[in-house]
Structures are given as structure tokens and as C-alpha cells.
Amino acid sequence: MSNTVTTINPATEQPVNEYSLMSLDKAQKAVDLANDCYSFWKKTTFTQRAKKLHRLANLIEENKSKLVSLMTEEMGKVAEQGEQEVSLCAEICRYTAENGEKELQDEHRVFEQGHAIITYQPIGVILGIQPWNFPLYQVIRYSVSNVMAGNTTVMKHASNVFGMAKLIEELYLEAGFPKGCYQSLLVDGKTASELIKNPHIRGVTFTGSDKVGKQVAKQAAELSKKTVLELGSNDAFVVLADADISKAVSACIQGRIVNNGETCVAAKRFIIVDEIYDQFKDTFLDGFKQLKVGDPTAADTDLGPMARKDLRDELHQQVEASVNAGASCTLGGEIPKQQGFYYPVTILEDVKPGMPAYDDELFGPVASLIRVKDEAEAMMVANDSRYGLGGGIFSEDTQRATELAIKEFDTGMVNINGYSLAQPNLPFGGVKDSGYGREHGGFGIKEFVNVKTVMVASTQ
């Protein structure tokens, strides 16, 4: 096996850079360094940590052009969406800096023999295993919460975004974080798996496929190490009879194509009641036809290429398998004969259980339209998935839609009459095969802390 990795520009299919993989021995030494750093980093004050996070936020903004260019080169992100990702990451840093101390402040309670202090203490080195699709955000969202809590972290990034991995570590160091507080390790999956066994690794946070995530969780569980998993999904967006069709179509298209369709919490299955199905489909089809797939650096591009050739090939196989099983391909569905790993916006209809478009996650710009009889069937189909990350409901009866979202939708997040990605002040995560644990909103910062109870007996 080669010990080098070459990153490829998915729009041009040309090499971007070459990187040498870190050996297992060097990676273990990096964990040792992180543990050494933890011994004094845990003793710093929240104010000291917050000051560095504010500096990191400023540096992220100052390096916006460089970060966006790297996203576009390494994984094909549309430049405008790259700018949004950079802004979100700076906002996450500031939110964590401004709210971390409050979220982790000691609590005081009375018990029969005296009073008790409940304190949230850091636990050590956290291993992060992160994907390529939001190459800055995925790293920032978990790492800043952990360093604010007093932990240190080592991070294995996806190999096609190793340039971003290196740049993130440079920004942490420039922001004044001590060496070893945050480290990007250019390692493969096998080495990352070995690191889980390192006694200094106290927890693992993983974002990626449910198949690999379950393997990571199993290995960590055998060592009694906590994990947080944010895995795939096949999010259902339900369109009820009283929905504003124009508003619903606009949000559903946005939810399907954001980040070239390569988003875990993207809208993927569209469940439409029979009464308005044809109207929704015709409007959705018109909107999809107007989308421009092309150069991710161009201002008028809606979707760029998929991140890698193997990912495009896998998506196409899922589309073909669904069509062979009885789905109708209303638009797209053919790999274009052009340079770059492009895939056309695609619409599948007559999608049924047993098809990849119904059962699995299609990680690309493919929309699955499903016709149902009524609201009850719509919610049944929405929940008929092994996944449970996000979802949506469109209805002019907001109160009823909200009630369905709270009581019926078996997911971690639900949109009502819109589509939103992550927000710094709101918890993000799922249920079922979409994983467990939460990021953001004051919840993520408590995932890897020791909730310690100190009981002080009364002197009387």
C-alpha cells in the first residue's frame, strides 16, 4: 500500500497536491503530545480559552478566500456555499467562546447529609474522524467545543481534503493554542482504528457512513470509550395537501442540491399527498431544469462536481438499481461525457421499498418523489427508514405541522415550511442508524466531559 495520497480536483480531474501518510508510530506520538498538552490545558480558565477561540474566528474570516479555494479544489464545493461555510465556522467559534462557560458552570444541590457540587470536567484526548463534504465545518464544530471544555483533540480527516486538514491546524496554532491542543493527523482508516486503542484516547467522535460508524462504535465500546456518531440519512420531506406549493418546491430544491447534494441532512425523499402530487412534481421539475451544473468557481453555478469519481459511480449504480426495480427516471440519470466528476440533477418517481432510492442514502443530486394517499400514510412512509437525522413538513397549518413534527417524526431534527442547515445555538444530531449524541446548542460541549458529583457533608 502506498504511503502517499494525491488529492484530485473533481472539476478538472487534475492533481492538487501530494501528501505523505503519517506512520502509526508518529501518530501515537501525536496522541502522547496531545495528552501532555491536556495536563496543563485543562487547568486554563474559560476566559483564556475563549480569547483564543475569538482569535481563531477572526483568522478563519481573514483566510476566507484561501479556505474557499481549497474547498473548491479538493472537493468541488460551489464557491458561494464555501463562503457560507466559512462564516458559519467563525460564528461557531464565537458562540462557543461566549457561551461555553455558562454551559459548563457548576451546579449546586442539597442532599440529606449536606450539599453537593455537580461539575463538568474535561476527560482528556478526543479522537475526531471527519468526512470531506463540509471540510472546515465538520472539524470546527466538534473541536472548538472540546477545547473550550478543556479537552485536547487529534483529528483524522478524509484523505481527499488533506490540504484543509493541514490548514486547520495552522490556524489553531496561529490563534495561540498550544502545540498539541489540536492536531490534524494525515493517517488512513487503519491507523485511526489503531489509535482508538491508545489509552490516552478517552472518546471518539465520528461523522460518516453508518457502516463504518458502527465499526468505530463497536471498537470503542469494547474499550469502554464513549462515542458520538453523526451518520448518514435518507431525510423525508412531507408535503401535505394545504402546503404552499411554490414555497415547498423552493425549499425542497434547496434542500436537495445544497453542497452538490452531498449533505447528510439533505432533503432526499419527497413524500407528497396525492391531491397535490402532480402540481408539486411539475413545479419541482421546472425548477430542477433551471439549475446550472458546472464550474464551482463560477458565480452562476448552482451545483459543482461530485467530490470523487467512485462516489459518482456509486450514486449512478443506486439510480440504475432503483430504475431496474421499477422506479421511473423523469430527469437526468445519465453520466455526462465531459471532464470532471459531474452528475446531473435527477428525479426518480414510483419509488418503493426495496429500491436504493427508498432504503438507502443517495449522496448526490437525486430527488426521490413518493406519492401517498394522505397525511397518515405520509408520516408512515417518512418514518419507514432505518435512518433518523432530519426531515421536513410543509403545511399552511403550522400548528398541526409542528404537532406532527414533535409527536410523529422519528428524527433528531425537523424543518417546518423551510430548509435549514446547522445552527450554532441549536442541537444537531439524529436517532436510529443516523447515530447518537449531539453537536452545537450547548449539548455538544457536554458530550465529552466528566459529570462529577462532589458531596460535602454538613458540619452540623
| Catalytic center residues | 230, 264
Q: What residues contact 65, with CB distance under 8 A and at least 6 apart?
A: none
Any long-range contacts for 438-443 (C-beta under 8 Å, 24+ apart)?
A: 438/228, 438/412, 439/141, 439/142, 439/145, 439/228, 439/230, 440/92, 440/141, 442/99, 442/103
Paired with 5 in beta bridges are 19
* Angstrom distance (rounded) from CA 123 to CA 104: 14
CA-closest candidate to residue 99, choices 451, 441, 460: 441
Q: At what angle do helices 79-103 and 137-149 cross, to 10 degrees?
A: 10
Query: Strands 226-230, 435-436: parallel, antiparallel or unpaired by DSSP?
Result: antiparallel
Paired with 382 in beta bridges are none
CB distance 302 to 292 below 8 Å: yes
